[in-house]
Amino acid sequence: MKIALGQLNIQAGNIDANLASMKQMVMDAKAQGAALIIFPEMAVSGYLLGDKLLQRGFVDRLLEANETIKSWSKDIGIIWGNISHMEGAKANRDGRFNRMNSAYFAYENEWVDKVNGLNPGLYHKHCFPDYRFFDDSRIFKSGVDISLENDQSIDHGIEPFIFKHQDETVRIGLEVCEDLWSKDYTIDPTALYIQKGVDFIINISSSPWTLNKEQSRVKRIQEHVSAHQEKMVPIIYVNAAGMQNNGKNVLVFDGDSTIYGKDGNVQAECPDNFEQYLGIFDHHERYPLPIQSDKLLNALVHAIREFDKQLLKGKAPWIIGLSGGLDSSVNAALLVLALGKDRVIGYNMASRYNQDKTISIAATSAERLGIEYHEGSIEALVQSTVQTLHEYAIDAVEGLAFENIQARIRGHLLSSFASYKGGVICNNGNKVECALGYATLYGDTIGALSPLGDCTKMDLFHLAKRLNELFDSEIISSDLIPTIEANTIHFGLAPSAELRTNQLDPMKWVYHDWLVQYFTQYPSHHLLEWLEIYANDQWQALEIAPWIRYYHLDEPMNFVEDIQWFIKAWHFAVFKRIQFPPIVTVSRGSFGYDYRESQLPYVNDSVMEALLKRILEKGGQS
Amino acid sequence: MKIALGQLNIQAGNIDANLASMKQMVMDAKAQGAALIIFPEMAVSGYLLGDKLLQRGFVDRLLEANETIKSWSKDIGIIWGNISHMEGAKANRDGRFNRMNSAYFAYENEWVDKVNGLNPGLYHKHCFPDYRFFDDSRIFKSGVDISLENDQSIDHGIEPFIFKHQDETVRIGLEVCEDLWSKDYTIDPTALYIQKGVDFIINISSSPWTLNKEQSRVKRIQEHVSAHQEKMVPIIYVNAAGMQNNGKNVLVFDGDSTIYGKDGNVQAECPDNFEQYLGIFDHHERYPLPIQSDKLLNALVHAIREFDKQLLKGKAPWIIGLSGGLDSSVNAALLVLALGKDRVIGYNMASRYNQDKTISIAATSAERLGIEYHEGSIEALVQSTVQTLHEYAIDAVEGLAFENIQARIRGHLLSSFASYKGGVICNNGNKVECALGYATLYGDTIGALSPLGDCTKMDLFHLAKRLNELFDSEIISSDLIPTIEANTIHFGLAPSAELRTNQLDPMKWVYHDWLVQYFTQYPSHHLLEWLEIYANDQWQALEIAPWIRYYHLDEPMNFVEDIQWFIKAWHFAVFKRIQFPPIVTVSRGSFGYDYRESQLPYVNDSVMEALLKRILEKGGQS
């Protein structure tokens, strides 16, 4: 049976556009002889829509679309994800309008029957992710709840579909995204389908890509193979492509739709390059695999490109402050890759503290990228600020407050450039700065998008090297990229905010990057866990151990001093993160609506104090 | 039986402080002869902690506290809310560490038994709110899931506790917060307890106050009375006091712990003034009720005071821009009420467009409030910006971009004042401005807290009048407070941003305020619903109808023009709201993590277009 994998670039909130793309793909698939075409989870509306999916008017609009899609099903089975509503059933838990996250199945203008004859053409998602950026339980009612409220066994909704096409009849198990990741749920739809007897399982997903997601999926499939042995069936996974956001995080969808054989091996695969693709495969055959893409770089480029296309109509100029440092250089190169050089304008805004060297790096980067570039000074505005502050009885203008003035003046100028050009600002912060609040609110925290806010400095070194290779030119000065060898790190030009003379970033690179990931990546860790590990000498077995020694943190006094500085900085930076721009999420835990934070007091917790004391006493003993 | 209602002002994240307060309350209750003391849901850690409750180290710390609290239970039963963990059970759905939102019950250093002898001293919350700012399913595993994974009936965990104190024995049904609001859930713990036979039900809550919450609770209790008639039992409701936040929203807890009799009437009640309180009552008796507080005003004052106490150690000066407009005048008065006049510094930052009249209002307000106050000009900085922009090849400096420069310079100055004074900025935006993006990002959108970001202009008029009464002085100029009579509105001085000559705010007050609430209040409405109502002439029956006529929006052409302006403004302001400060939530739907928004393209949706066309044709016919 020829099956079309409709790896749709879902345009969140744009129903007409999604329907138009789906219709075109259905026609193309039919023309190529496919018996069946499969679209991702929540293909009609998108998946990350905030509370729009709670609004009856919007949901009604989505429900109407089902009849339209069904009407395209002459000679071809169509499976798609959309919201559903069950008139007369109990409300969702919020006490209002009930909504399910469902898979629809139509053929020959009819809803396709299940073995038990109930609810033709409709399957409701059973397993609800409520971690990271997922909020399924907020929006949807699960298949489990429907069974429970009707006093049925909880597997009642897991029933194979019977699909007869020409002279072939197949039994299909249809499930939605998390239903495959059922290990920790009270119900396992995949296992139930296999037990009830199906020819293959179709999993429709809207599964954002974050680091190593591919490996996790392969592992999950292998667990099913181990559990079901020769009873295992092929799994056809169809994922969305493109970009969607939840306000604070910009998520990318890599596609990578795949047919897994009974043995868990890949039989056929669509590209994983975040792009829309129609893959037509016979599910009995084995196909050559596409080239795996450079995932992190592609994810960032794609996020920028789709953000620009969807929200800025692909027209607004992108304004970027080019300091001659690593982060802004990498960002400028990413913008040019995503949008072309004519869409990017770089600005260098020097103060008395900026070195000629970094200014010249900025100019060289801009020149090599071929972007419009302007240089100027912030000194007049800084002086005018100082004068005005005198008028408000503030005389001594110095220290951190004076540094912040410089950063905010740059933010003000970038905002003014963006206003006049009708453009948007690219934020240049990285994840470590964001974690430690090493940025000035309304200064360098501003922007419409933070492409690098989920990248550590280590990620940036990697990206810088790859970008120079791709452009075949030293776009990013090699002075900015350190050599990391034998557990030592050496910079030509070490990272600096250049807000005072001889200022250097206070981060202990590699170690602090690692700590930031340790504390944010799902499931995140608490300080007490890290102190326990150190107090019990378990750190020595970790891959980060050489760097702990490199920075002399194997000396407990140094360790305590550093971790207190680190955790306080982290803690007091929450208020800055609350007002940070949307971050492109690429790791297994990014700031925003992914790793969620309340603003809490900094507390000298008694258990923490006891642990610190234990660590310091250890130092005394050695 | 004398029962102590421990209405704790929970300090989120401060375990030591909560334990100390609880211990003191236990001793006080014992001294006053109470047999039982009851604390709120999640009393040890707080309830709104972001992802901290996913972190094993933090949870372990909380679990240890249970033994400590149990050790205080000599001669007094203690009930408290805390997280629990069940070793060996299935993980939470996120696949890691399982955690329940539980009620604990200890007496005489033992866990109190249930009728069936299982799980002494422990009850797990069954009903999980996942709407608005609640994310229970993200953090906790429910009692329902525990029953299901052990192949038990879902009511297995609802079992009365047997509490023997001196010569009295009572059967107690113990439940947590949402368990009372079970109407739309698959399980109804309150009903099950009544069926199984209890003397009374204890509901421990951490239930943030938003508008009309008291009435909703009374209504819910009455529904139980109707359902169970003479079988109904008293319900003892113990709620938290104080303030907690989720990053984007600052929530206040009104306390208002109450004993409801079998007939649903209030027998005894703690104050609803957001303050900690220990109420000791005999549950058979009826007590005089406390005076109901001025809820909205109190909520705002309390939010500011607790935010300041918990996060700023009650020391930092609060910096506020005083324009002489309504919003900043109201905010200044709220700050003074919450913190005292010595903690507030007002700044007037005039440009050539500010009228003498408003500057003089600002000065008068400040004088009457008795706060430190400074006046100065932004003209030099605006001119310096223009000069610097010339340097960057931007010549024509005018229009909206020029207005934004003025706003951002004010933001820059306020930030500088805050830096030098070691203070924080009070944001002055209201909900209608926030909805329509009528503010300059990094200009008037800045601040550490937005006390008024969930208040409409109507709320502000109400607050202004109340504040003038409270201060017994015209703190807020009567020119700023309109007279609203016979469905007309008249201002002495109409709201203006004063960024150009004769500028007036474009809002249609009353009607647009109403629309903002219509679109945000839970469950929020979609534009298509409003257009349907208008197209079907159903608006005439609404309380807002006279204002629709007042603004001549009964003429379809005017209506369409206005709603298109409104919805586009709303839509394009999402990017500003993403970077907005934390908002004090007081309505039934506030921006932030309450009403959640993705950034989506503005789409000329085909169904919307058809509706607009239908409306316009209606105009042609009339």
Within 201-240 of A, beta carbons closer than 8 Å to B belong to none
In whole angstroms, give the CA distance from residue A91 to residue A69: 26
Among A18, A44, A182, A392, pick the best mutation site for testing chain B contact (most B Cβ within 10 A): A392
In whole angstroms, give the CA distance from residue B221 to residue B181: 9
Return mean pLDDT, chain A. 95
Is it the case that residue A93 has pLDDT exceeding 70?
no
Domain layout of chain B by residue ranges:
2-293, 303-617
Tokens of A295: 């995932």
3-state secondary structure of B211: coil
Give yes or no for A599 touching B (CB within 8 A).
Answer: yes
Give yes or no for B439 touching A (CB within 8 A).
Answer: no
Task: Quote the ipTM score.
Answer: 0.96
**CA nearest neighbour of A157 among A118, A191, A195:** A118
In whole angstroms, give the CA distance from residue A467 to residue A243: 22
In whole angstroms, give the CA distance from residue A189 to residue A233: 13
Percent of chain A with pLDDT over 70: 99
Cis check for the bond before A523: say yes or no (omega within 30 of 0).
yes
Within 388-417 of B, beta carbons closer than 8 Å to A belong to 388-389, 391-394, 397, 400-401, 404-405, 408-409, 411-413, 415-417
- Cβ–Cβ < 8 Å for A234, A202: no
CATH of domain A2-293: 3.60.110.10
Is it the case that residue A51 has pLDDT exceeding 70?
yes
- Cβ–Cβ < 8 Å for B161, B200: no
pLDDT band at A97 (very low <50, low <70, confident <90, very high): confident
Residue B552 to chain A, least CA–CA distance (Å):
26
- Cβ–Cβ < 8 Å for B290, B272: yes
pLDDT band at A314 (very low <50, low <70, confident <90, very high): very high
Phi-psi region of A487 (alpha: psi -120 to 50; beta: other; left: phi over 0): left
| Radius of gyration, alpha carbons of chain B | 27
- Cβ–Cβ < 8 Å for B274, B161: no
In whole angstroms, give the CA distance from residue A435 to residue A453: 9
User: How many other C-beta atoms lie within 10 A of the C-beta of residue B152?
Assistant: 11
In whole angstroms, give the CA distance from residue B208 to residue B256: 11
Q: Tell me how far the alpha carbon of residue A43 is from its chain's centroid.
A: 18
pLDDT band at A96 (very low <50, low <70, confident <90, very high): low
Nearest residue of A to residue B589, measured between CA atoms: A51
Which amino acid appears at position B447 of this protein? G
Q: Could A376 and B384 be called an inter-chain contact, meaning their C-beta atoms sit closer than 8 Å?
A: no
User: How many other C-beta atoms lie within 10 A of the C-beta of residue B86?
Assistant: 15
Nearest residue of A to residue B187, measured between CA atoms: A149
Quick one: DSSP state of residue A21? Answer: H
The pLDDT tens digits of the residues spanning B206-250 come to 999 999 998 999 999 999 999 999 999 999 999 999 999 999 999
Give yes or no for A88 touching B (CB within 8 A).
Answer: no
The pLDDT tens digits of the residues spanning B553-571 come to 999 999 999 999 999 999 9
3-state secondary structure of A584: strand
> What is the secondary structure of A188-205 as a DSSP string?
-HHHHHHHH--SEEEEEE
Please report the pLDDT score of residue B240 as a whole number: 98
**CA nearest neighbour of B588 among A95, A581, A600:** A95
**Set of chain A residues whose Cβ sits within 8 Å of the Cβ of B380:** 384, 387-388
Query: Could you give phi then psi for residue B522, rounded to 5 degrees?
Result: -65, 130
Q: Could B598 and A245 be called an inter-chain contact, meaning their C-beta atoms sit closer than 8 Å?
A: yes
Nearest residue of B to residue A142, measured between CA atoms: B186
Strand A258-260 vs strand B2-7: parallel, antiparallel, or unpaired? unpaired
Query: Could you give phi then psi for residue A562, rounded to 5 degrees?
Result: -65, -45
Tokens of B472: 């017994």
Is it the case that residue A621 has pLDDT exceeding 60?
no
pLDDT band at A92 (very low <50, low <70, confident <90, very high): low
CATH of the domain spanning A303-617, picked from 3.20.20.70, 3.50.50.60, 3.40.50.620, 3.40.50.720: 3.40.50.620
The answer to whether the predicted template modeling score (pTM) of the entire model surpasses 0.95 is yes
Residue A578 to chain B, least CA–CA distance (Å):
6
Give yes or no for A616 touching B (CB within 8 A).
Answer: no
b/e map A394-428, b = 16+ CB within 10 Å: beebeeebbbbbbbbbbbbbbbbbbbbbebbbbbb
Residue A570 to chain B, least CA–CA distance (Å):
14
The secondary element (H helix, E strand) that includes residue A134 is none
Nearest residue of A to residue B51, measured between CA atoms: A596
Nearest CB to A376: which of B378, B392, B413?
B392
Query: Could you give phi then psi for residue B583, rounded to 5 degrees?
Result: -105, 135
The pLDDT tens digits of the residues spanning A325-345 come to 999 999 999 999 999 999 999
Please report the pLDDT score of residue A397 as a whole number: 81
The pLDDT tens digits of the residues spanning B468-517 come to 999 999 999 999 999 998 889 999 998 888 888 888 899 999 999 999 99
Nearest CB to A15: which of B54, B530, B605?
B605
Is it the case that residue A431 has pLDDT exceeding 70?
yes
The pLDDT tens digits of the residues spanning B519-544 come to 999 888 999 999 999 999 999 999 99
Nearest CB to A579: which of B12, B244, B579?
B579
Query: Could you give phi then psi for residue A73, rounded to 5 degrees?
Result: -90, 20
Please report the pLDDT score of residue B621 as a whole number: 54
Please report the pLDDT score of residue A184 as a whole number: 82
Give yes or no for A570 touching B (CB within 8 A).
Answer: no
Tokens of A117: 């004859």
Please report the pLDDT score of residue B96 as a whole number: 65
Strand B372-377 vs strand B258-260: parallel, antiparallel, or unpaired? unpaired
Please report the pLDDT score of residue A334 as a whole number: 98
Nearest CB to B90: which of A184, A582, A596?
A184
Residue A305 to chain B, least CA–CA distance (Å):
14
- Cβ–Cβ < 8 Å for A147, A124: no
The pLDDT tens digits of the residues spanning B2-59 come to 999 999 999 999 999 999 999 999 999 999 999 999 999 999 999 999 999 999 999 9
Q: Could B56 and A526 be called an inter-chain contact, meaning their C-beta atoms sit closer than 8 Å?
A: yes
Helices A326-339, A457-471: inter-axial angle, 10-degree rounding: 50
The pLDDT tens digits of the residues spanning A191-212 come to 999 999 999 999 999 999 999 9
**Set of chain B residues whose Cβ sits within 8 Å of the Cβ of A313:** 601
Please report the pLDDT score of residue B390 as a whole number: 95
Strand B266-269 vs strand B258-260: parallel, antiparallel, or unpaired? antiparallel
Residue A479 to chain B, least CA–CA distance (Å):
28
Quick one: DSSP state of residue A9? Answer: B
Percent of chain B with pLDDT over 70: 99
Question: Average of pLDDT values for B114-143?
Answer: 95
**Set of chain B residues whose Cβ sits within 8 Å of the Cβ of A393:** 374
Q: Tally the residues of chain A.
A: 622
The secondary element (H helix, E strand) that includes residue A254 is strand A249-254
Q: Could A389 and B183 be called an inter-chain contact, meaning their C-beta atoms sit closer than 8 Å?
A: no
User: How many other C-beta atoms lie within 10 A of the C-beta of residue B291?
Assistant: 8
Give yes or no for A512 touching B (CB within 8 A).
Answer: no
Within 48-67 of B, beta carbons closer than 8 Å to A belong to 48-52, 54-58, 60-61, 64
3-state secondary structure of B230: helix
Among A61, A134, A186, pick the best mutation site for testing chain B contact (most B Cβ within 10 A): A186
Q: Could A415 and B184 be called an inter-chain contact, meaning their C-beta atoms sit closer than 8 Å?
A: no
In whole angstroms, give the CA distance from residue A142 to residue B119: 29
Tokens of B312: 């700023």
The pLDDT tens digits of the residues spanning B75-127 come to 999 999 999 998 877 776 665 678 999 999 999 999 999 999 999 999 999 99
Is it the case that residue A91 has pLDDT exceeding 80?
no
Which amino acid appears at position B89 of this protein? A
Q: Could A408 and B416 be called an inter-chain contact, meaning their C-beta atoms sit closer than 8 Å?
A: yes
**Set of chain A residues whose Cβ sits within 8 Å of the Cβ of B446:** 441-442
pLDDT band at B182 (very low <50, low <70, confident <90, very high): confident
Give yes or no for A135 touching B (CB within 8 A).
Answer: yes
Percent of chain B with pLDDT over 90: 90
> What is the secondary structure of B442-504 as a DSSP string?
TTTT--SBBTTTT--HHHHHHHHHHHHHHHTS-SS-GGGS-EEETTEEE-SS-----SSTT--
**Set of chain B residues whose Cβ sits within 8 Å of the Cβ of A17:** 603
Which whole-number Å values give the CA distances from A20 to A33, B62, B479, B576, in the listed order?
20, 53, 55, 31
Return mean pLDDT, chain B. 95
pLDDT band at A393 (very low <50, low <70, confident <90, very high): very high
In whole angstroms, give the CA distance from residue B144 to residue B151: 11
- Cβ–Cβ < 8 Å for B449, B584: yes
Measure the CA angle with vertex A564, ends B67 and B59; round to 5°.
Answer: 25
Which whole-number Å values give the CA distances from A601 to A355, B18, B274, B314, in the listed order?
39, 13, 19, 12
Please report the pLDDT score of residue B589 as a whole number: 96
- CA B325, B597, A597, A303 dihedral sign is negative
The pLDDT tens digits of the residues spanning B380-431 come to 999 999 999 999 999 888 899 999 999 999 999 999 999 999 999 999 999 9
Among B378, B388, B390, B521, pick the best mutation site for testing chain A contact (most A Cβ within 10 A): B388
DSSP H helices in A340-451: 356-369, 379-391, 399-421, 431-436
Q: Could A130 and B129 be called an inter-chain contact, meaning their C-beta atoms sit closer than 8 Å?
A: no
